[in-house]
Amino acid sequence: MTTASPAGRDKRPDQTPELYRYVLDHNPPLDAVQRDLVELTRTRFPDSASMQSAQEQGPLLAFLVRLVGARHIVEVGTFTGFSSLSMAQAMDDGGKLVALDVSEEWTAYAREAWEKGGVADRVELRLGPAADSLRAMPDGPHIDLAYLDADKPGYIGYWEELVPRMRPGGLIVADNVLFHGRVADPGATGGAAAIRAFNDHVAADARMDSVLLTVADGLTVARRR
């Protein structure tokens, strides 16, 4: 019988800058539009750039889009558009990605990136509270893939709106589920406490199969049964 730790921890190497670069070098490379958007976000919004999905998540999201043949994608939390750009580029013609956000300023850069990336016709931006936008969507299973990367206290509510709308075999991918490692603290407050509650909620949801992965700041991939 094996134990989760410390043996499990010993299999995960410390992520040095050199190791991280090695990972990026052995993943599908970002294209020029993606690279420019990553750099623009870092320089234009230095205090908020950490909200952007990690570089390795772009190819991973594209892989998942292709894996499930996603034609209807919902993104909750768009920021400057790196993740939506990555997913839209991986969709087949005729697919649609609905991007939900509240910021006209940030999503203006997303719109520009979608245009440069040739996928503007595949993306529909809806500005306003994401919970309202989700509730306005058709009932019943019709979503192939959903990416959740927004305000952490809202995660459970977004999850509950999404799950009934996922088609069997559809995926929900949730970012920041380790919350900088603070989710392990039972006394966590704020965003960390919200993510702790979300992770427990997901693990107990019999409608979904899920795994929590140590990708970037933690990534949960859940499949509708």
Residue 10 lies in a domain: no
For residue 4, is pLDDT > 70? no
For residue 7, is pLDDT > 70? no
Residue 4 lies in a domain: no
Tokens of 98: 């609905």
Residue 1 lies in a domain: no
Residue 150 lies in a domain: yes
pLDDT at residue 37, as a whole number:
96
pLDDT at residue 135, as a whole number:
98
Residue 185 lies in a domain: yes
CA distances (Å), origin 142, targets 99, 163, 166, 193: 16, 10, 6, 31
Residue 46 CB partners (closer than 8 Å, separation 6+): none
CA distances (Å), origin 221, targets 48, 71, 127: 25, 18, 25
How many domains does the chain contain in total?
1
| β-pair type (123-127, 166-175) | unpaired
pLDDT at residue 1, as a whole number:
42
For residue 199, is pLDDT > 50? yes
The amino acid sitting at 105 is E
**Angle (deg, nearest 10), helices 57-68 and 82-90:** 30
Average pLDDT over residues 4-13: 63
Residue 133 lies in a domain: yes
Average pLDDT over residues 33-42: 96
Residue 197 lies in a domain: yes
Residue 9 lies in a domain: no
Instruction: Quick: pLDDT tens for 179-188.
Output: 999 999 999 9
Average pLDDT over residues 138-159: 97
% of the chain surpassing 90 pLDDT: 92
For residue 85, is pLDDT > 90? yes
Q: Look up the domain containing 22 and give its range.
A: 15-224
Tokens of 141: 């299973």
Please report the beta strands in 55-151, taking only residues with DSSP state E, as ranges in sequence order.
72-76, 96-101, 123-127, 143-148
Distance CA 172, CA 159 (A): 8
Instruction: Quick: pLDDT tens for 115-131.
Output: 999 999 999 999 999 99
Closest CA to 155 of 128, 126, 191, 189: 191
DSSP 61-84: HHHHHHHHT-SEEEEE--TTSHHH
For residue 2, is pLDDT > 50? no
**CATH value at residue 129:** 3.40.50.150
Q: Is the pTM of this model over 0.75?
A: yes
